[in-house]
Amino acid sequence: MHLGLGLSLRVSQSLELRQTMELALTQSLFITQQLKLAITLYIKREGGLTRLYRNALKRGMVKLYDKHGMKFEYALVRAKDVPADLKVYGNWAFSHCLFKGFEALFFGKHYAMARGSWLLFVIYDMYPGMPEHFIEYAAVHERGEQVTLGDHNLASKLEFAIAKKENNLVEYMAWLEEQCPAKFADVFSYQTHLELPAADEFQEVLETFSSSGEATRVRQMIEEFEWPYRLLQKLTLYKKRNEEVIEIATQALRVAEILAGEGGLPLKELVGRVRDEVAKQLRFIRERELKRYISFPRLDALWRELRIGVDEKFVEMLNARQRSSPNNYLQELIDASISDSLPRDGVLSLSFAEALQAL
């Protein structure tokens, strides 16, 4: 098996990896509590994905890709066996790096990822009737994640470069726009993004391959990829429309932040007004038929960031009310059906996608 995977992925290796991570966790002088939690969650996810890969091996569903100067293996898995958070936004492929925790802690994430082994997965039944070569493109994307040290954008450039090389790019992009619009809408950010890892980091990647020629060829394909003019026009349109959505979402939460600081309204009325104003702003997305153009990963991240400002303003207002009128404060909270923060329901939910769906 390539990359040290397959049958060589024995229980002893998983145990060794767990022991090294647990050892790293004990280095309390060097690790924050937040980082400890992150490593713990990583270990938990790793066990499940290792079992998923082994099961694919047993079912004969680990495939070899050997084209265009690339040679690697990937596991075909069923959607029902994959954690829900790995399928968000309609994704049908993912990867996981088996690396040593202490290397990440003391030498950096890129160093650890470059020296680790990777499990590559494609969900073959995510979209019924998906052509086999589209499944391969997803596998190529995950290989690209490995070669570029986890850079999703550059991995996508490799994925599309292979589709173009096989004269399937237009067909593939049309299929994405129809079947997986969230991924298609996210493509515009790949047009100009081209920041390959630094030479010393990339050298670490070369050492993980049986032949450095593959990584060199992958890098070349990423650097040389250019969009056909017709597709570039469509992607430019998507980018423009997505910027409109960003402007609307930003305005919605700017209004919410101003309202959240209002001290003169009863809390119940204030919360309702914040919710109504945000919903009013977001309805513009539906009225302008912009939903299909949304890059949800980008908007969700922006929404979470802006939402922090709204939460902080609301808490400041609550604290001021408690200080000025402690006798009425508790009753107001009860009347408004809230605790000590802005409720995360409906359009006030943390996820932008959920907020939009609630309209």
Neighbours of 113 (CB within 10 A): 24
Q: What is the pLDDT of residue 350?
A: 82
173 CB-side CA count, 13 A: 23
CB 164, CB 112: distance < 8 Å? no
Query: How many residues are there in the chain?
Result: 359
Q: What is the pLDDT of residue 23?
A: 47
16 vs 111: CA distance, rounded Å:
19
Please report, as a single letter, which amino acid is at residue 101: G
Q: Measuring CA to CA, which residue among 177, 287, 294 is closest to residue 239?
A: 294
For 232-298, the DSSP string reads HHHHHHHHHHHHHHHHHHHHHHHHHHHHHT--SS-HHHHHHHHHHHHHHHHHHHHHTT-GGG--HHH
pTM of the model: 0.75
Q: What is the pLDDT along the chain (359 residues), one digit of tens a residue?
A: 333 333 333 334 444 444 454 444 444 434 455 555 666 666 678 888 999 999 999 999 999 999 999 999 999 999 999 988 888 888 899 988 877 666 666 666 666 666 677 899 999 999 988 999 999 999 999 998 888 777 788 888 999 999 999 999 999 999 999 998 888 888 876 665 555 555 555 555 555 544 467 877 888 898 888 888 888 888 889 999 999 999 999 999 999 999 988 878 888 899 899 999 999 999 999 999 999 899 888 899 899 999 999 999 999 998 888 888 888 888 888 888 887 788 888 788 888 988 888 87
Q: For residue 17, give both structure tokens.
A: 């990896």
The stretches of 84-211 forming alpha helices (DSSP H) are: 101-107, 109-115, 132-147, 152-165, 169-179, 181-186, 199-206
Q: For residue 193, give both structure tokens.
A: 């993004």
Neighbours of 21 (CB within 10 A): 20
Q: What is the pLDDT of residue 287?
A: 93
178 CB-side CA count, 13 A: 8
Q: What is the pLDDT of residue 112?
A: 67
Please report, as a single letter, which amino acid is at residue 245: V
Q: What is the pLDDT of residue 51?
A: 93
95 vs 158: CA distance, rounded Å:
15
Neighbours of 351 (CB within 10 A): 17
3-class SS of residue 74: strand
Q: For residue 34, give both structure tokens.
A: 């937040």
322 vs 339: CA distance, rounded Å:
13
Q: What is the pLDDT of residue 27?
A: 43
Domain boundaries, the chain: 2-227, 235-357
The helix (H) or strand (E) run that includes residue 315 is: helix 296-324
74 vs 63: CA distance, rounded Å:
5
